[in-house]
């Protein structure tokens, strides 16, 4: 408590300037839009409660790239200038600007500072580089010094270097100033260049796929929390779930989220998230029971704001619905209104659908999926052509030049092995869904791949159960489309965007 009171006094006197405005230094690619918004909601609320004001300085020095929806979130959170350092780490294309206007996908614009390092020792090399890389010489270059990665501040040696170098001929002139003065200088400068879209970091691409279990838990918690709040409103429950959101936001700190922390930290975060997920699902179950009540009917809810037609597994067949017997129960085809639910009576289902299966294929009225000569192919019946000409699994050497826990280098493609499917067999066949299972063996590892086609749908579900026992080896699913395009549409947190195909790895995971 004494330390916090001392910090409050330092803030009031201007000796400490709170920055960031987020609950933690979050990953800015993998979390959903709601999580990023709440990072700022809870972070700014903390600053307001403890210090009496919110910050207008965004601060993510060590985060691994930045989604194109972030400028909108920053602006709406009261941030006027955004500071980041990581774009200096690009391994292929040098990022062109040190100070620039960053325009997001909705048109929001925020001045952004891309500075040379977050923990300078004030050596002559660092000072010269900071000025040489500065692309707006009308503004001063920004060079924070001190023990910045982990904290600690400036040392006695750094302060002595500042005294010795500040007016030394041959070096740029050093001026120790208030961060707020630099922010005002950036805001008043009207000739900044503009960068549109994502700030894609050409490094640390492995963080998108590291630590699958943690990423699955984060995504499920994001989904369940949104559902809990949605149905709580419907049920008339007036309650804040901030105490359930905060642990999730802490897990989205960029190192745990990218699984680049230590093994012990990773395992602790996974355990905590599993417990948090159980608590959230328990609360959700209570709320749904309040809405649906008890009885013999089976209710299926749709928490999304659009109508859904999908396959659901239930314990008993539902009267009059298209039904197929599967392992674990019955597969039924249901239509549910947006943000609503439907209740069904248990009874005999109907046999209805358009799925057919063979030894090496599964199809419906619009697509046909086959395993042929060791490759996965998809034929589009409506247009009369192959949509996927070749799909397969491959293993590649993964020996990046450094940081193998973070990086996947572009040259991983140099040494790869295409995996040949072994046993192929039909595991599910009926009018609503057909699936076949493909087994692969690579060295000490095994993969069981399940490929399913649903009735009346162009969607193909592919599940991979992987027992991976290799070191320094990537497992990659590769799909060759029979299309030519320079861009593709992806979901990006709060909006959709067209993305040019210029990147080695993207965070397009649906965990």
Q: Is residue 261 within a helix (H) or strand (E), and if so which, with residue range?
A: none
Cα separation, 305 vs 329, whole angstroms: 28
pLDDT tens for each residue of the chain, 511 residues long: 556 667 788 888 888 899 999 999 999 999 999 999 999 999 999 999 999 999 999 999 999 999 999 999 999 999 999 999 999 999 889 999 999 999 999 999 999 999 999 889 999 999 999 999 999 999 999 999 998 877 778 999 999 999 999 989 999 999 999 999 999 999 999 999 999 999 999 999 999 988 999 999 999 999 999 999 999 999 999 999 999 999 999 999 999 999 999 999 999 999 999 999 999 999 999 999 999 988 789 999 999 999 999 999 999 999 999 999 999 899 999 999 999 999 999 999 999 999 999 988 999 999 999 988 888 999 999 999 999 999 999 999 998 888 888 998 877 778 999 999 998 999 999 999 999 999 999 999 999 999 999 999 999 999 999 999 999 999 999 998 887 777 766 665 554 445 544 555 555 555 4
Cα separation, 266 vs 255, whole angstroms: 9
Joined together, the tokens standing for residue 82 give 């955004």
Identify the CATH homologous superfamily for domain 2-202: Glycoside hydrolase 38, N terminal domain (3.20.110.10)
Instruction: Yes or no: say if 451 and 421 are a contact pair by the CB < 8 Å rule.
Output: no
Q: CA 105, 107, 109 angle in degrees (round to 5)?
A: 105
DSSP state at residue 68: T
| Ranges for all domains in the chain classified under CATH 2.70.98.30 | 356-484
| Ranges for all domains in the chain classified under CATH 1.20.1270 | 204-294
Going from the C-alpha of 458 to that of each of 131, 433, 461, the distances in angstroms are: 55, 12, 10
Q: Which fold has domain 204-294?
A: Substrate Binding Domain Of Dnak; Chain:A; Domain 2 (1.20.1270)
| Ranges for all domains in the chain classified under CATH 3.20.110.10 | 2-202
Q: At what angle do helices 242-251 and 33-51 cross, to 10 degrees?
A: 110
Going from the C-alpha of 499 to that of each of 211, 248, 446, 490, the distances in angstroms are: 25, 28, 34, 7
Answer whether CATH 2.70.98.30 is correct for domain 356-484: yes
């Amino acid at each position: 408590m004494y330390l916090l009171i001392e910090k409050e006094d330092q803030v009031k006197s201007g000796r400490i300037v709170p920055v960031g405005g987020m609950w933690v230094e979050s990953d800015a690619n993998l979390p959903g839009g709601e999580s990023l918004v709440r990072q700022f909601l809870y972070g700014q609320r903390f600053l307001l409660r403890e210090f009496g004001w919110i910050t207008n300085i965004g601060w993510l020095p060590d985060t691994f790239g930045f989604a194109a929806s972030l400028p909108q979130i920053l602006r709406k959170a009261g941030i006027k200038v955004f500071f980041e350092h990581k774009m200096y780490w690009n391994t292929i294309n040098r990022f062109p600007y040190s100070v620039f206007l960053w325009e997001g996908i909705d048109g929001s614009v925020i001045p952004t500072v891309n500075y040379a390092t977050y923990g300078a020792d004030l050596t002559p090399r660092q000072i010269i580089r900071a000025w040489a890389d500065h692309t707006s010489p009308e503004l001063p270059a920004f060079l924070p010094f001190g023990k910045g990665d982990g904290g600690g501040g400036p040392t006695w040696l750094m302060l002595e270097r500042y005294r010795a170098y500040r007016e030394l001929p041959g070096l740029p002139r050093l001026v120790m100033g208030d961060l707020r003065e630099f922010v005002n200088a950036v805001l008043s400068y009207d000739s900044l260049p503009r960068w549109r879209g994502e700030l894609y970091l050409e490094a640390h691409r492995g963080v998108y796929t590291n630590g699958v279990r943690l990423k699955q838990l984060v995504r499920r918690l994001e989904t369940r929390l949104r559902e809990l709040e949605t149905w709580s409103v419907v049920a008339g429950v007036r309650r804040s779930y901030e105490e359930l959101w905060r642990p999730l936001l802490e897990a989205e700190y960029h190192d745990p989220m990218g699984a680049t922390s230590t093994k012990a930290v990773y395992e602790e975060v996974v355990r905590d998230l599993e417990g948090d997920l159980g608590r959230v699902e328990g609360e959700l179950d209570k709320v749904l029971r309040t809405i649906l009540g008890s009885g013999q009917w089976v209710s299926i809810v749709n928490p999304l704001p659009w109508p859904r037609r999908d396959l659901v597994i239930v314990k008993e067949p539902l009267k009059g619905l298209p039904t197929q017997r599967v392992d674990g129960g019955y597969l039924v085809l249901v239509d549910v209104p947006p943000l609503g639910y439907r209740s069904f009576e248990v009874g005999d289902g109907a046999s209805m659908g358009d799925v057919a299966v063979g030894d090496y294929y599964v199809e419906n009225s619009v697509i046909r999926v086959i395993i042929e000569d060791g490759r996965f192919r998809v034929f589009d019946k409506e247009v009369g052509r192959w949509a996927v000409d070749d799909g397969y699994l491959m293993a590649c050497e993964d020996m990046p030049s450094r940081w193998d826990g973070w990086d996947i280098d572009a040259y991983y493609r140099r040494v790869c092995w295409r995996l040949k499917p072994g046993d192929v067999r039909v595991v599910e066949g009926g009018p609503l869904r057909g699936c076949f299972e493909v087994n692969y063996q690579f060295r000490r590892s095994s993969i069981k791949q399940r490929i399913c086609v649903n009735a009346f749908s162009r969607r193909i579900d592919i599940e991979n159960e992987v027992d991976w026992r290799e070191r320094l080896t990537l497992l990659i699913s590769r799909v060759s489309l029979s299309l030519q395009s320079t861009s593709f549409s992806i979901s990006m947190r709060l909006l959709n965007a067209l993305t040019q195909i210029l990147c080695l790895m993207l965070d397009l995971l649906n965990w």
